[in-house]
């Protein structure tokens, strides 16, 4: 998968450069090798045992840090996308926490230096985990309906509320969004806080999910949780504007994660169909088989290019909410269809837990919901193209998982 980058001149002809830099191409090959040799072998056992891949995450982070340090470079957003796509080939559940300092700094862009000093080293080494707490039982895709409240009490805030669908319920610190201005309506007046797991008044309840079982998910309840005002991230009441800048990036990352997992299933299925003999001929010689996989590769390549375009646009400060919404609904959908085909082509073994296709299918389906459903994404695209006035309601964003 190659990303679009700046326009370059060739004589009098202006063309687009769709190549990774030499360092990025070396990095892509190296991360894929690591993913296939060190992550993939424990992918299925992690699902079966519901074991978070802590050692694998630390391994990827250390490798990435060493790779770029040796070259005297800082990885950009496209490089973060490469990490997501290639790591997903090995372990879908290791991706988000293995994306490194660039990704984490963007998530916590407005955090005060004291907060970054406290949390960034552990988060970027893999020794600590962050859980994003946006969704509520009555405010899934409508962040403006958030009911969690943070009431000022001298130099502190007292927070009460329930956050559900929290990914990384095993986190060391939670990025909690709550309303600090009760007079404000919609998404206005919402603030964000970094709250350590051990803060008094927080309780946790895990939910058994269909997929991504190596990542604990569930409900966080906050009862009179008192936090210092300096734990607030960004300015009071500005949390939605702050986090919305991160949505496009995260949606592209989600798309590349789903694409990486699906491409790995396709690669495995191509090898299987080339060697599986049916009626004295390789299964792949049947056009119903090879053409279907050819269609899947086409869709995934197109989706991947769009994902890298979103990362390139955000890196160059170009607005791209509609493009982020496009990749968020399209890439997971195409990945699900591709993995489903791979599962079927393996027959009963594909349907069994002996092979990883069923697990990849379950894992990817979760991201058809997380960070905004297909329907919400299409609303964002339509609103961008037709104009806000065409639509009633207040669909600001959609999000379920971190």
The CATH number linked to 232 is: 2.40.110.10
E strand map for 83-211: 130-133, 149-153, 156-167, 173-179, 190-196, 202-206
**Each residue's pLDDT tens digit, 118-137:** 999 999 999 999 999 999 99
| Strands 130-133 and 173-179, bridge-based pairing | parallel
| Residues 233 and 244 grouped into a single domain | no
Q: Which residues, in sequence order, are CB contacts of 1 under 8 Å at separation 6+?
A: 85, 256, 259, 301, 304, 305, 308
| Residues 244 and 340 grouped into a single domain | yes
Mean pLDDT of the chain: 93
Is the predicted pLDDT of residue 9 greater than 90, yes or no?
A: no
Please state the rounded mean pLDDT for residues 222-246.
Answer: 95
396 assigned to some structural domain: no
Q: In the 8-state DSSP scheme, what is residue 140?
A: S
Which of 106, 125, 144 is where one domain is finished? 125
The pTM of the full predicted model, rounded to 2 decimals, is 0.93
| Residues 249 and 381 grouped into a single domain | yes
Integer Cα distance of 198 and 227 in angstroms: 12
- Specify the 3-state DSSP secondary structure of 223: strand
Is the predicted pLDDT of residue 402 greater than 80, yes or no?
A: no
Place of tokens 């050692």: 55
401 assigned to some structural domain: no
Is the predicted pLDDT of residue 398 greater than 50, yes or no?
A: no
Please state the rounded mean pLDDT for residues 100-110.
Answer: 92
Is the predicted pLDDT of residue 209 greater than 50, yes or no?
A: yes
Is the predicted pLDDT of residue 397 greater than 50, yes or no?
A: no
Q: How many CB atoms within 10 Å of residue 219?
A: 19
1 assigned to some structural domain: no
Share of the chain above pLDDT 90, in %: 87
Is the predicted pLDDT of residue 368 greater than 90, yes or no?
A: yes
For the ranges 8-22, 282-296, 334-348, which has the lowest average pLDDT? 8-22
Is the predicted pLDDT of residue 2 greater than 90, yes or no?
A: no
Integer Cα distance of 304 and 1 in angstroms: 6
Domain that holds residue 91: 7-125
* Torsion on CA atoms 79, 80, 86, 88, rounded to nearest 10: -170
Number of domains in the chain: 3
| Residues 246 and 337 grouped into a single domain | yes
């Amino acid at each position: 998968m190659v990303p679009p980058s700046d326009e370059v001149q060739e004589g009098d002809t202006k063309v687009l450069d769709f190549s990774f830099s030499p360092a990025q191409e070396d990095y892509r090959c190296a991360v894929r090798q690591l993913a296939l040799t060190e992550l993939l072998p424990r992918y299925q056992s992690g699902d079966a045992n519901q074991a978070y891949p802590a050692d694998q995450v630390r391994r990827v982070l250390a490798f990435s840090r060493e790779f770029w340090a040796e070259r005297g470079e800082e990885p950009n957003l496209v490089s973060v996308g490469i990490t997501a796509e290639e790591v997903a080939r090995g372990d879908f559940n290791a991706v988000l926490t293995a994306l490194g300092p660039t990704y984490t700094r963007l998530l916590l862009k407005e955090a005060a230096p004291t907060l970054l000093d406290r949390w960034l080293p552990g988060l970027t080494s893999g020794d600590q985990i962050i859980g994003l707490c946006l969704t509520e039982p009555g405010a899934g895709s409508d962040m403006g309906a958030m009911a969690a409240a943070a009431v000022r009490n001298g130099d502190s805030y007292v927070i009460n509320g329930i956050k559900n669908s929290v990914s990384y319920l095993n986190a060391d610190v939670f990025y909690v969004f709550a309303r600090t201005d009760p007079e404000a309506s919609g998404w206005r007046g919402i603030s964000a806080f970094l709250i350590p797991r051990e803060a008094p008044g927080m309780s946790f309840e895990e939910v058994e999910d269909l997929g991504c079982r190596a990542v604990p998910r569930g409900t966080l309840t906050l009862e009179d949780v008192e936090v210092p005002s300096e734990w607030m991230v960004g300015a009071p009441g500005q949390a939605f504007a702050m986090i919305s800048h991160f949505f496009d990036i995260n949606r592209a990352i989600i798309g590349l994660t789903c694409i990486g997992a699906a491409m790995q299933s396709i690669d495995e299925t191509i090898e299987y169909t080339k060697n599986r003999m049916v009626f004295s001929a390789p299964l792949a010689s049947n056009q119903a088989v090879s053409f279907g996989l050819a269609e899947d590769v086409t869709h995934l390549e197109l989706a991947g290019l769009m994902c890298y375009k979103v990362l390139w646009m955000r890196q160059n400060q170009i607005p791209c909410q509609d493009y982020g919404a496009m990749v968020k609904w399209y890439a997971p959908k195409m990945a699900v269809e591709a993995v489903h085909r791979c599962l079927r082509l393996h027959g009963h073994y594909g349907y069994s837990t002996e092979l990883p296709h069923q697990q990849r299918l379950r894992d990817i389906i979760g991201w058809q919901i997380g960070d905004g459903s297909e329907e919400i994404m299409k609303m964002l695209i339509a609103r961008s193209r037709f104009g806000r006035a065409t639509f009633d309601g207040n669909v600001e964003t959609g999000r379920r998982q971190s």
